[in-house]
């Protein structure tokens, strides 16, 4: 009799798990159908890096508070030190932003293709009129991605993730 009770208890446990799994599945299907029918353009399921790409190019969210532009040439000679100059503008006023902290990371290759970072992150040197500069010596010909993070004056460090742009330099 005890053996029979254990079997019945195990059967009840499995039945409970099956019902719970079925309830979750039904809820997920209902939510998917409801969102699809409403035309909601809200968050979609993550489908890997291809979901972030369109036409073979990375689609990044634009920086929230700043505009980051090349002030110097985006083509640099291979094996020679070059000065890269960026201009940072306040997105609301379109005026140059002075007193910001500009943090740079350099990746060999196009954005998010290789994740082959060259060295660590470092600060660009502030110059006049909202420009920020750093030196760079490309070791080989090809593309390099400049990950530029800006912390506007008075903002906290986490704002650098909201004010990030990937700029591509070509070395030849």
CA dist 138 and 76 (Å) reads: 8
Prediction pTM value: 0.64
- Could you tell me if 137 and 79 are in contact, meaning their C-beta atoms sit under 8 angstroms apart? yes
In terms of domains, do 18 and 91 share one? Answer: no
Helix (H, G, I), strand (E, B) or coil at 120: strand
pLDDT value at residue 27:
40
CA terminus-to-terminus distance, the chain:
84
pLDDT value at residue 17:
44
- Residue pLDDT, tens place only, 133-146: 999 999 999 999 99
CA dist 148 and 168 (Å) reads: 11
Detail the DSSP E strand segments found in the chain: 53-54, 57-58, 66-70, 75-76, 82-90, 101-108, 116-123, 125-126, 131-136, 142-151, 164-171
Domain at 126, CATH number: 2.60.40.10
- Residue pLDDT, tens place only, 75-125: 999 999 999 999 999 999 999 999 999 999 999 998 877 777 899 999 999
In terms of domains, do 41 and 78 share one? Answer: no
CB atoms within 10 A of CB 37: 8
In terms of domains, do 166 and 106 share one? Answer: yes
For tokens 């330099």, name the residue.
Answer: 169
- Would the CA dihedral through 32, 35, 36, 37 be positive or negative? positive
Residue ranges making up the domain that contains 9: 1-45
pLDDT value at residue 8:
46
CA dist 134 and 46 (Å) reads: 36
According to DSSP, residue 157 is labeled T
In terms of domains, do 86 and 161 share one? Answer: yes
For tokens 């890269």, name the residue.
Answer: 84
Q: Which of 153, 161, 99, 84 is nearest to 130 (CA)?
A: 99
For tokens 């890997």, name the residue.
Answer: 48
pLDDT value at residue 32:
39
- Residue pLDDT, tens place only, 150-165: 999 988 887 788 899 9
- Residue pLDDT, tens place only, 21-60: 433 333 433 333 333 444 444 333 323 333 344 444 445 6
In terms of domains, do 89 and 158 share one? Answer: yes
CB atoms within 10 A of CB 150: 26
In terms of domains, do 73 and 147 share one? Answer: yes
């Amino acid at each position: 009799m005890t053996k029979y009770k254990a079997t019945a208890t195990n059967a009840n446990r499995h039945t409970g798990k099956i019902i719970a799994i079925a309830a979750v599945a039904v809820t997920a299907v209902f939510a998917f159908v409801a969102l699809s029918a409403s035309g909601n353009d809200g968050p979609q399921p993550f489908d890997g890096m291809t979901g972030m790409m369109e036409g073979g190019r990375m689609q990044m969210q634009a920086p929230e508070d700043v505009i980051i532009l090349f002030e110097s040439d985006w083509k640099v000679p291979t094996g020679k030190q070059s000065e890269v100059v960026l201009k940072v503008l306040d997105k609301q006023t379109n005026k140059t932003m002075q007193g910001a902290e500009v943090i740079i990371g350099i990746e060999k290759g196009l954005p998010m293709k290789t994740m082959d970072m060259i060295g660590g992150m470092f600060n660009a040197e502030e110059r006049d009129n909202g420009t920020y500069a750093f030196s760079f010596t490309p070791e080989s010909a090809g593309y390099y991605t400049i990950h530029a993070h800006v912390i506007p004056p008075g903002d906290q460090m986490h704002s650098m993730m909201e004010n990030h742009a990937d700029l591509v330099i070509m070395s030849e």
